[in-house]
């Protein structure tokens, strides 16, 4: 392999200096961006914000990747794990021109340089991180842990792409990151692109050494070999200023790993051609050891800074005359006069080092959502569950959904832009039919029994690993590069990715206002194995609170659906897969359950999101005495059964039955685009009648959504109140008092004419609850009249 030539190396070194110079400039300089005047206090920002420590390493990697991209015409993207190295990525985008193309105001000249420096972490300017505003970013890196899973998500089905993924040694300590290394068991070397992890050990976090930087080389090597990688070390020597050595080492190593990648791809092609099974390659990775705050001040006030945690943020911010001089010395150490022209442009011979057009990592179309096509969608009506009358037929909603998804998968096989994700729950959540269209991807070892039964394949499009974090990270990476997916998860354990959801919702919210990014396919969740049916698992598996969590995020991007049967779920699924730039949370049961709406009724109902079910109501043409409302499959059944009980005992009672499928309709229109206007809301819920609401989740959520509605004081909500164990399905609703008897009692207690006359009925319902407890403790199962209940009208 040819050694990096001196001339090219000198230019690369200069380019790196330019990026470092501009990084320091962004952190410190308000003006005088090329130090053409002696540095004064007024040239320096009043508030110094940002992170220097990781930045020079990020810039070093960037210039070296640029060489590889040019030499091999290799499309690459840059995933910045240490996202607070924002100044470095912004600097590189500016240097290669994409920044000024997107933001003409920040031009490639002296005035643009001034703005570039000033705007960073400055009011009205740009954020400190590799945020959505940063060209080339699809990963903000604000919260740590997701760089590797995002990188894998981005290269799935992008066989030409290499994602260089810089992982900070801080981030490497997080759980999500620690398991995401195993993503290599789910990557197909022919169909997918490549992730090139670059573990950047700069030794320190905010105020501590990092664990991985303090392992022996032997342990570190074994760890990554154990993860299935072939680590290549690039390490600064004793002298951090011996740049030539490390440039040569980095260039040679990148050549080596790119050659290894090419060999791996070639071998896979040979395997395929010869009909042999694809083997799992040992993908190369780089372990780069450079000092934190490299090229920055060695010491400040007699204290070590370069190569130490003190360079994590702004190495010095008290702008004494001595510190101003130190800053000037530091900035001048990059020799800006040699880097920029008189007019403030990067010197042309250096600018020539950057790739051109879409080969620039800051202009890769994948990361801006520009490579995205809609799904071909089969007609969901073809999967509808047919029945004679509502509330009699039983079906498993998610199994029906699975058949629909199977054909979404089948119809988009050519486009290679649809995958489904789940933490070992695809079968458990009744999506098993999808496996008829595409297997589960698996590149770890096979056993003889796998092929016939386990639907495992090296080219499957169903992604399963028992890590909600990794599933979420893969899916996010896949969506952020314009493709589509659905994530099914046990309802309780979706909380594992609460914080990842936060970050993605924030990304969507911010990108709404960024015109050069295209709207992304929505992040779709099916939450099933829900709180009411944890027959096998009990209390630890019961938590419907993800809904409460998501509704805190911006209304523009959040949608919550609670389809109560299979046909409603079909309509909802179709809608979710066609939508863009939302987070769609769908809660639906996987157990056999009653069916209520024909597909045509379901379309109408789901389109409106909330509505009166006339067939279950007895208030035709008149004001109701009470509104019985519900959301979610189990509460809907209990609410209907309560209606039935009331109809039997109080035939004159006027009940209006309301089902809510789109939870956001409850909010005022001013709060959410799906919110009903007040007139619509009141025409359904009335302004003065008691409303007894059976809700799938924590009852307070309904109050939070409706507290501004007229008549909210009449709203009585039942839901999950954190009671549960391993018991029967009906006992779960009884424990939380959202059962049919309690709901009927709630109505009796709230409708004046019943309160007066219904005491004996009320007592009979109370007695039923006692009978229920006694029955299940003896028989271990619900009473037949409960189990076999169907809508009798």
Residues 434-493 that bind a copy of itself (CB under 8 A): 440, 442, 444-447, 449-450, 453-454, 456, 464-470, 492-493
Selected binder of a copy of itself within 554, 669, 737, 750 (CB under 8 A)? 554
Q: Can residue 518 be called a binding residue for a copy of itself (CB under 8 A)?
A: no
Q: Can residue 279 be called a binding residue for a copy of itself (CB under 8 A)?
A: no
Indicate the residue among 13 and 304 with the shorter CB distance to a copy of itself.
Answer: 304
Q: Can residue 287 be called a binding residue for a copy of itself (CB under 8 A)?
A: no
Smallest gap from Cβ 529 to a copy of itself, in A, equals 10
Selected binder of a copy of itself within 252, 427, 769, 790 (CB under 8 A)? 427
Give residue 335's region: left, alpha or beta (phi > 0; psi -120 to 50). left
374 closest CA partner among 248, 496, 484:
484
Q: How many angstroms separate the CA atoms of 333 and 245, rounded?
A: 19
Contacts of a copy of itself in 673-702 (CB under 8 A): 698, 700-701
3-class state of residue 199 by DSSP? strand
What are the DSSP E strand ranges found in 51-153? 76-80
* Cβ burial, residue 65 (10 Å; 0-12/13-18/19+): buried
Q: How many angstroms separate the CA atoms of 227 and 209, rounded?
A: 23
453, two tokens? 């039964």
Smallest gap from Cβ 695 to a copy of itself, in A, equals 13
Q: Can residue 302 be called a binding residue for a copy of itself (CB under 8 A)?
A: no
Indicate the residue among 208 and 607 with the shorter CB distance to a copy of itself.
Answer: 208
Q: How many angstroms separate the CA atoms of 380 and 607, rounded?
A: 14
Smallest gap from Cβ 782 to a copy of itself, in A, equals 9
Smallest gap from Cβ 469 to a copy of itself, in A, equals 4
Q: Can residue 411 be called a binding residue for a copy of itself (CB under 8 A)?
A: no
Selected binder of a copy of itself within 393, 406, 506, 656 (CB under 8 A)? 506
Q: Can residue 238 be called a binding residue for a copy of itself (CB under 8 A)?
A: no
11, two tokens? 């230019």
Smallest gap from Cβ 785 to a copy of itself, in A, equals 16
Selected binder of a copy of itself within 553, 580, 647, 649 (CB under 8 A)? 553
The piece of 155-163, 320-328, 500-508, 561-569 that touches a copy of itself (CB under 8 A) is 500-508
5, two tokens? 């030539």
Q: Can residue 750 be called a binding residue for a copy of itself (CB under 8 A)?
A: no
Indicate the residue among 654 and 768 with the shorter CB distance to a copy of itself.
Answer: 768
646, two tokens? 């009331």
CA 478 to chain centre: 10
Q: In what order do the strands lie in the sheet with 162-168?
A: 76-80, 162-168, 194-201, 283-289, 229-235
Smallest gap from Cβ 60 to a copy of itself, in A, equals 22
Contacts of a copy of itself in 29-58 (CB under 8 A): 30, 45-47, 49-51
446, two tokens? 């096979």
542 closest CA partner among 720, 703, 396:
720
Contacts of a copy of itself in 115-154 (CB under 8 A): 118, 121-129, 131, 140, 142-145
Indicate the residue among 179 and 481 with the shorter CB distance to a copy of itself.
Answer: 179
Q: Can residue 737 be called a binding residue for a copy of itself (CB under 8 A)?
A: no
Phi, psi of 362 (to 5 degrees): -85, 0
Selected binder of a copy of itself within 256, 499, 601, 617 (CB under 8 A)? 499
Smallest gap from Cβ 553 to a copy of itself, in A, equals 6
Give residue 291's region: left, alpha or beta (phi > 0; psi -120 to 50). beta
Contacts of a copy of itself in 314-353 (CB under 8 A): none
Selected binder of a copy of itself within 85, 545, 624, 690 (CB under 8 A)? 545
Selected binder of a copy of itself within 510, 579, 598, 617 (CB under 8 A)? 510
Smallest gap from Cβ 203 to a copy of itself, in A, equals 8
Indicate the residue among 101 and 454 with the shorter CB distance to a copy of itself.
Answer: 454
Selected binder of a copy of itself within 115, 704, 737, 750 (CB under 8 A)? 704
Binding residues for a copy of itself, how many (CB under 8 A)? 129
Indicate the residue among 371 and 512 with the shorter CB distance to a copy of itself.
Answer: 512
Three-class DSSP labels, 371-385: CCCCCCCCCHHHHCC
Selected binder of a copy of itself within 105, 552, 648, 763 (CB under 8 A)? 552
Selected binder of a copy of itself within 108, 417, 524, 728 (CB under 8 A)? 728
Smallest gap from Cβ 47 to a copy of itself, in A, equals 5
Smallest gap from Cβ 464 to a copy of itself, in A, equals 5
Phi, psi of 120 (to 5 degrees): -65, 125
Phi, psi of 679 (to 5 degrees): -65, -45
Q: Can residue 781 be called a binding residue for a copy of itself (CB under 8 A)?
A: yes
Let me know: does 198 contact 61? Beta carbons within 8 Å: yes
Three-class DSSP labels, 589-651: CCCEEECCCCHHHHHHHHHHCEEECHHHCCCCCCCCCEEEEEECHHHHHHHHHHHHHHHHHCC
44 vs 19, 91, 117, CA distance in Å?
19, 18, 10
51 vs 34, 56, 121, 346, 360, CA distance in Å?
21, 11, 10, 24, 24
Smallest gap from Cβ 119 to a copy of itself, in A, equals 10
Indicate the residue among 468 and 662 with the shorter CB distance to a copy of itself.
Answer: 468
Q: How far apart are the first and last CA of the chain?
A: 82
Contacts of a copy of itself in 559-578 (CB under 8 A): none
Contacts of a copy of itself in 151-190 (CB under 8 A): 170-171, 173-180, 182, 185
572, two tokens? 């909802």
187, two tokens? 């990557």
Smallest gap from Cβ 217 to a copy of itself, in A, equals 11
Smallest gap from Cβ 71 to a copy of itself, in A, equals 32
Smallest gap from Cβ 665 to a copy of itself, in A, equals 17
Indicate the residue among 58 and 653 with the shorter CB distance to a copy of itself.
Answer: 58
Selected binder of a copy of itself within 83, 297, 390, 402 (CB under 8 A)? 83
Q: In what order do the strands lie in the sheet with 523-528?
A: 456-457, 440-441, 462-464, 418-422, 484-490, 523-528, 583-587, 558-561
Contacts of a copy of itself in 197-226 (CB under 8 A): 205-211, 214-216, 219-226
Place of tokens 């508030």: 47
Smallest gap from Cβ 102 to a copy of itself, in A, equals 18
Indicate the residue among 470 and 659 with the shorter CB distance to a copy of itself.
Answer: 470
Helices in 340-461 by DSSP H: which ranges? 348-351, 397-411, 434-437, 450-453
Q: Can residue 712 be called a binding residue for a copy of itself (CB under 8 A)?
A: yes
The piece of 336-344, 504-512, 593-601, 653-661 that touches a copy of itself (CB under 8 A) is 504-512
Q: How many angstroms separate the CA atoms of 206 and 529, rounded?
A: 40
359 vs 97, 367, 576, 664, 675, CA distance in Å?
12, 12, 33, 42, 44
The piece of 243-251, 340-348, 621-629, 726-734 that touches a copy of itself (CB under 8 A) is 726-734
Per the document, the length of the chain is 793
Q: Can residue 28 be called a binding residue for a copy of itself (CB under 8 A)?
A: no
Q: What is the DSSP string of 275-292?
A: TPPPPPP-EEEEEEE--T
Indicate the residue among 334 and 698 with the shorter CB distance to a copy of itself.
Answer: 698
Selected binder of a copy of itself within 157, 407, 543, 625 (CB under 8 A)? 543
Q: Can residue 665 be called a binding residue for a copy of itself (CB under 8 A)?
A: no
């Amino acid at each position: 392999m040819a050694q990096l030539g001196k001339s090219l190396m000198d230019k690369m070194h200069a380019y790196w200096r330019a990026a470092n110079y501009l990084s320091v400039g962004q952190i410190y300089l308000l003006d005088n961006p090329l130090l053409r005047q002696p540095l004064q206090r007024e040239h320096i920002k009043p508030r110094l914000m940002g992170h220097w420590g990781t930045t020079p390493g990020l810039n070093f990697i960037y210039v070296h990747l640029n060489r590889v991209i040019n030499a091999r015409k290799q499309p690459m993207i840059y995933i910045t794990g240490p996202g607070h190295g924002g100044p470095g990525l912004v600097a590189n985008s500016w240097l290669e021109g994409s920044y000024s193309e997107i933001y003409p105001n920040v031009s490639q000249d002296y005035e643009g340089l001034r703005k570039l420096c000033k705007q960073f972490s400055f009011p009205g300017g740009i954020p400190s991180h590799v945020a959505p505003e940063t060209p080339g970013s699809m990963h903000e890196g604000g919260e740590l842990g997701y760089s590797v899973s995002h990188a894998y998500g981005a290269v799935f089905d992008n066989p030409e792409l290499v994602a260089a993924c810089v992982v900070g040694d801080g981030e490497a300590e997080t759980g999500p990151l620690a398991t995401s290394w195993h993503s290599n068991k789910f990557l197909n070397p022919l169909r997918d692109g490549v992730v090139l992890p670059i573990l950047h050990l700069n030794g320190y976090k905010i105020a501590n050494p990092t664990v991985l930087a303090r392992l022996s080389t032997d342990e570190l090597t074994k760890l990554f070999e154990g993860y299935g990688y072939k680590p290549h070390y690039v390490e600064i020597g004793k002298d951090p200023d011996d740049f030539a050595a490390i440039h040569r080492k980095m260039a040679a190593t990148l050549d080596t790993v790119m050659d290894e990648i090419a060999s791996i791809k070639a071998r896979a092609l040979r395997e395929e051609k010869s009909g042999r099974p694809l083997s799992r390659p040992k993908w190369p990775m780089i372990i780069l050891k450079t000092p934190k705050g490299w090229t920055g001040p060695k010491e400040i006030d007699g204290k070590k800074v370069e190569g130490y945690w003190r360079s994590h943020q702004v190495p010095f911010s008290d702008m004494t005359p001595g510190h101003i001089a130190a800053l000037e010395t530091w900035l001048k150490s990059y020799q800006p006069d040699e880097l920029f022209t008189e007019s403030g442009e990067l010197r042309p011979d250096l600018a020539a080092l950057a790739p051109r057009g879409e080969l620039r990592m800051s202009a890769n179309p994948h990361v801006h959502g520009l490579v995205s096509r809609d799904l071909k969608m089969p007609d969901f009506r073809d999967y509808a569950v047919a029945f004679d009358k509502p509330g009699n037929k039983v079906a498993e909603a998610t199994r029906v959904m699975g058949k629909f998804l199977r054909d979404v998968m089948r119809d988009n096989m050519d486009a290679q832009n649809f995958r489904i994700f789940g933490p070992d729950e695809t079968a458990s959540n009744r999506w098993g039919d999808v496996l008829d269209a595409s297997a589960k991807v698996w590149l770890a070892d096979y056993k003889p029994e796998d092929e016939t039964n386990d639907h495992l394949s090296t080219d499957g499009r169903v992604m399963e690993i028992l890590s909600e974090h990794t599933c979420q990270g893969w899916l996010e990476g896949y969506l952020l590069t314009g493709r589509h997916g659905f994530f099914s998860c046990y309802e309780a354990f979706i909380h594992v990715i609460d914080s990842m959801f936060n970050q993605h919702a924030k990304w969507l919210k911010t990108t709404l206002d960024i015109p050069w990014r295209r709207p992304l396919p929505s992040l779709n969740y099916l939450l099933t194995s829900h709180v009411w049916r944890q027959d096998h698992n009990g209390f630890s598996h019961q938590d419907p609170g993800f809904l409460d969590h998501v509704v805190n995020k911006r209304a523009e991007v959040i949608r919550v659906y609670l389809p109560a049967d299979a046909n409603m779920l079909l309509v909802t699924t179709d809608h979710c897969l066609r939508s863009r730039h939302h987070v769609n949370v769908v809660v639906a049961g996987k157990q056999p359950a009653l069916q209520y709406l024909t597909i045509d009724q379901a379309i109408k109902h789901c389109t409106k999101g909330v509505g009166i079910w006339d067939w279950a109501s007895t208030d035709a043409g008149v004001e109701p005495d009470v509104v019985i409302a519900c959301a979610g499959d189990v509460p809907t059944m209990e609410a209907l059964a309560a209606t039935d009980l009331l109809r039997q005992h109080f035939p004159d009672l006027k009940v209006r039955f309301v089902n809510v499928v789109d939870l956001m309709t409850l909010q005022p229109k001013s709060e959410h685009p799906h919110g009903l206007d007040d007139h619509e809301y009141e025409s359904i819920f009335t302004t003065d009648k008691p409303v007894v609401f059976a809700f799938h989740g924590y009852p307070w959520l309904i109050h939070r959504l409706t507290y501004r509605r007229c008549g909210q004081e009449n709203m009585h909500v039942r839901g999950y109140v954190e009671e549960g164990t391993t018991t029967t399905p009906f006992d779960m609703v009884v424990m939380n008092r959202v059962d049919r008897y309690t709901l009927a009692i709630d109505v009796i207690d709230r409708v004046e004419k019943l309160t007066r006359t219904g005491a004996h009925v009320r007592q009979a319902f109370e007695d039923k609850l006692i009978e229920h407890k006694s029955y299940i403790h003896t028989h271990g199962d619900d009473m037949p009249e409960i189990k076999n209940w169907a809508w009798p009208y």
